Every structure is written in structure tokens, then in C-alpha cells.
Structure 1
Amino acid sequence: MYRYYTTKLNQYGIMEYPPLPIPDTVGHYGKNGIAFEGICGHFYGFVEYEKELPASDVANFDLVPGPSPSYYPIDEETARRAHEMMSFRDYQKGSKTWQYRVRVDEASMIADRQKKRIDPMYHEKVDRLLASFSRRLAENLNAESRIGTMCPSVLISGGSNFPVRKKQRQNEASERNMKEYQEIMGLISRICSVGTGGISSDEPQAIEKLKLKLEKLEKHQELMKAANAAIRMKDRGKGDAKLKELGYAPDEIAELRAPDFCGRVGYPAYELSNNLANIKRVRERIASLEKLKEAPPEGWGFDGGHVVVNTEENRVQLIYDEKPDADTRAKLKANGFRWAPSQGAWQRQLTSAGMSAARDVAPPVES
């Protein structure tokens, strides 16, 4: 399926796109349109075709090709009831669904743009983040609608015998849901950062990439040692010839032979020591990830809940039977655990350190 985002409306407020062939799907965002981040102009909706449109049609109607994201269902009936409990205006059928799809479409276009910028080995992680965004946003908006039905507005029900405590509980639930919404929207920033930083253990190819990094570090270590040996040769001409053989250009050879502020030439000992420490660190990360991959640890029960080793999310999760008290929450945060409403758990990344922290916070119940 080929999707094209529309940028034009005719005088009647109808999206403009080629009359033929007839599109398989037409999605209209609304009269005001929506501006997607990083892309000029407004997009009023989209059309989808089974076959790709000719380039001339795309140009003539100023269509913008884009990806076709996956959507999750939005509870329109609950959204309508929530609206009617807050407003005298009629609910516009489908408005909650389009509110959701606009955000997902925006995220999918950002993800598509990011994938064009980075190495293909990162594409799977971008897709996973986008899928998580789409699923969690649907859950959050549906929760927003359910919260909206908990208590009517005072303008709707009137001030007499207004359920103040019920309204307070609704406001508290709404605040929690808004915090989760902000966390979900933060996934867009994570999408934009994929492939631009270090190697995360979350990445499916983390072990392979770490092995490549280790290989480069080891080669660089050998190169520095060989260069220092060449510089220490009594015959400078032979030493320079050796450096040239190692791949150094004349200006690089001159830079290596120039004494630093301590009178040292070549690569200083601290640079070899630091690189060796990085080699050791990367080797340990590879060993740790391989161990987790080959024999994932199992969860356990603790007093008041249980620990889940979620390999799919790459998280160790603490699930409590009841909300933990303030001291326990403080201890969880101090040990790197964060509350994930979508998972109903306190969690951190699934690493050996994460498992150790979980045992400290929630020691297994002795059988």
C-alpha cells in the first residue's frame, strides 16, 4: 500500500488528490490540518493506493509520500460519553480516533526520516520504538476517555450535591495519565536519537556491534604499540619507513615525533592504558550480554510481590501486590528503578547490575 499525505484543500475544504485511480483509503484530519515536525506545510490527511502514483500526479497535487503506520483501536463510544460529561457541544464522531492517528502519523514520518539518516542495523530499534509509541498512545487516550466518564463537569451536573471527592479522584487520575502521556511523547525524542549515540543493550545487534567496536579498539592498541616501537628505533629513517608502512602520512609522522608539554613523543602511556581499559570494559559487556542471551535469569517472589524478567522489553520488573510505601519507592528510585504505567511495574534495564539491584530491593522469599 502506498500512502501520500495531502497538502491542499479546494474552495469547499475538501482535500485535493488525483481523481483517478480511486484511492483505497482516504483519511481526513479535520478543517485546520496539522503541521508535522521537520516538514514544511500542513497535512490535511492522506490517501492510500494499491499501486504507486505517477511522479507527475505527486508533483501536480503536491502530495508527500510517507509510511503507513499501524494503528490500535480507539474507544469512540467512551470518548463520546466523556465529551458529553464535560461539554454541551455535540461530539464530533471519530475525533478521538483522528487525534490519535495524527500523532502516530507524525511519529511515523519522523521515524521514517530518521531511518534514512542512520545505518540499517538501527532500523529495527526505530520500528520497535514506533510500535511502542502507537500502542501506548492508544492505551493512554482510551484511559483519558475512561477517566473523563468518572465524574461530570459542574457545568453539566450543577452545583447542588456535587461529588467533590469523586471529582478530586478524577483529577488525580487525570494528572497521572497526563504524566504517562508526556512519557509516551518522549519516545519521539528517543526515535530521533537512535543511531547517533553509543551502543545500547536494548539494540538487537548490540553484541555484534560491540564485537566490531572491540575489534577496532584492539587494532588501535596494536597500531599505537607498533608506532611507538618504530619511533624508538635508532635509525630514524627506518623508523619513519615503518610508520609509513603502518599507514601514517608524513604530517602525522611529524606530529607523532613532536614532543608534547612533558617532552613525550609517540603515543603517551596513559593513552594506551585508557584504550586498554576500554577494551576490558567492552569485553565484559559482551560477556554479560552473551550470558543473558544464552541463559536468561528467572524471576522470583518477594514479600509483597514478584519479580519478572521481561526479555522482550529487556527489563527486570518489580510488580507489587499493592502500591509500595514512600520509603520503598524512594529505595526503588535510588536503585535505578522507574515506574512504568504501561507495564504496571517498577523496572530498569535487564543487565547483571539490574538483577543485582532487584535482589537488593526485593530479596527472594526463602522457601
Structure 2
Amino acid sequence: MKWKSQIQNLKAYQPGKTMDDVKAMFNLEKVVKLASNENPFGCSKNVDSFLKSNDFSHAIYPDGYAKKLRMAVAGHLSVDPGQLLFGNGSDEVIQMISRALLDRDKSTVMATPTFPQYKHNAIVEGAEIREVPLDSAGRHQLPLMLEEIDETTSVVWLCSPNNPTGEYIRKDELVSFLDSVPSHVLVVLDEAYYEYVVAEDYYDSMELLKSYPQLLITRTFSKAYGLAGFRIGFGVASQEVIGKLEPIREPFNNNALAQGAAAASIEDQSFIEECREHNRKGLEQYYSFCREHGLDYFPSQANFVLIDFGVSGDEVFQYLMSKGFIVRSGEALGYPHTVRVTVGSTEQNEQVIENMKEFLVLQNRA
């Protein structure tokens, strides 16, 4: 078979171990997953009400235009419905962008480390990948990224807040960058963790859209909205950009339950506000632990924190997993001496921190 040469050594996405896997592996009755940045508080009660009351036929294809959801999101964001593109998670929106704009004759610019699907999709399309390291604070170096752009560049990827560092791009930095990016380059601003941001100098991306037609914003219902199991995300851009991407979208790519659940959840912004508040308190629990034990960490505007333990992240990961806590080792994230921990409930945070303290004691004895 004549496979694309660029996928010969490409590895499939490797999801973390499930809670059932860890229970069986260590003979545990209870396991807490704090590895994938899911919402520990679940989702809005509006979603439960929708699921109990929905009366559509499961034998009929979903609305391919996602009209009800489209109108709900457009109203919430104050954009035209034609400015929205829905995907099977924001991952699929990233895939559509890559398929539409990248090939062997194109280059794409991104930070490193950052969300790996930008690079993954660029490899599949055979594009030249230009990576610019984050600075020591875990932030995008936008001036250096600008230097990597030339006439072959078709897409620049910005993740703000960035995964895995939780850092964000300041408003003045972003505006200066957008002012300098050539008009032929699409700037994708990934705001998967937007709902958790509290920084005063964060930008209003929907306002920026009005001034920068080459900007596309991605968001998701998988994080703060607590709908990761439904797999639904979206892109927001000018109608011209969305019009070019729509033909790439697979027909009926968002199932009916996901559309209804997302539409119900976006109407409950009080739930999002509560989650944001709980998240900030949870982050402070981890910050306090790090300060107490002299551990470096990245201050986060997302619902996770990256902590440097000074040893292989795999060691910390394995120890915590044996105690019933699944986190993410930094070995796979570009920060080998760290673990990334999703902020959980107050009780979950207390429990995993106690086990982190036990790990540090064992390390000091070694």
C-alpha cells in the first residue's frame, strides 16, 4: 500500500489509563482521575433536564447545521451564526483547518511545548513545522514566532491559556502580533480553557475578530462545561473563513445528544462562574503546597497546574497512581521533571497533595 511517507513513524494518540485499569492494576476500590483536565464538578443541571426530556428519534440523523446550538452559541458570543464552525471536539476543528490550509508546500508556526494536535495534523498533511520554544515562564515568544513566518506560512497556532503550562498571552502582546502578521496567514487562537481565565490583562477575542479577519478562535464544551464525553467544540471566525472551512466538515459530525447538551449548558453561565471560583481556590491549594516545599510551578489561568518535582515525572506519576490518583507525567509534555495535575474538588486536591507530600518524604530518605 502506498501510505503517505510522513505517517510511517507517526504514533496514534495515547490516552491515559482509565480508572478501571488503575483499580485492577493496584487492587484499589477508589481512583481519582486528575489527568485530562475534565471538570470535577460535572456539568450544568440543565444538561440532565435536557437528557431526561429529549423527544427526538434516535433513528434520524442529527441537524447537520446544528441550528439550535448555533443560535445559542451565537447569542452568547454576540456573533453572527454564520461565523461558527462546529466539530467533534475542537480537535476536529483543528483537523479541518489543517486539511484546508496545509500541504507539502506550506509551513506552519507553533510554540513548543503546546497542545500536540497542531503538530500531529501538520505532520499528516506533510507541512513544514516551525516550532518556537516557550520562554522560561512558559509563555509564547511572539516576536520570535513572527520571525518564522514567511510567504510559505499558512497557519500560526496560539494556545492561550497554553497547555501544558497554563500561561496566557497578554492583550498588548497579542494585538502587536496580529498587527504584524501578513494577511495571508490564518492565526488560530485556541481558547479551550477560556472559561477559567481571571487575568485582568486577558484580551476579548470576540472583539479582536472585528479587526482581524485572519483570526480564528477555537473553544470547547469539554472543559469548564463538563461535556467531554459528548465531544463538541467550535471555531469562530469571519463568515468568509468559515465559508471556506465548512466544505471540509464531515456531514452530521455532531450527534443530536451532544448538540442538545451543549445548547442547554451554555444557557447556565452561573454554573461556569461557580466552577471558575472553585478552580481558583483549588489552584491556591497547589500553590501553597509548592511554596511550602520549595517546588517550582507555573501559575495557571487554566484548570490544571504544572509542578516541578526535580525528578522524572514518571516517578511521581507512578507513585500517585499506586495510591489511586491519576495525573499526567511531564515526560510526555516537554517538561520531564514535572507532573500536570487537573484541579479537582477541595477534598480531591487535599488528598492528592497529601500523597505528594508522602512522595517527597520518600525521596528525601532515598
Q: TM-score, normalised by structure 1?
A: 0.26
Work out which structure has the larger RCO, using CA pairs closer than 8 Å and 6 or more positions apart in sequence.
2
Q: TM-score, normalised by structure 2?
A: 0.26
Q: Which has the larger radius of gyration?
A: 1
More helix by share: 1
More strand by share: 2
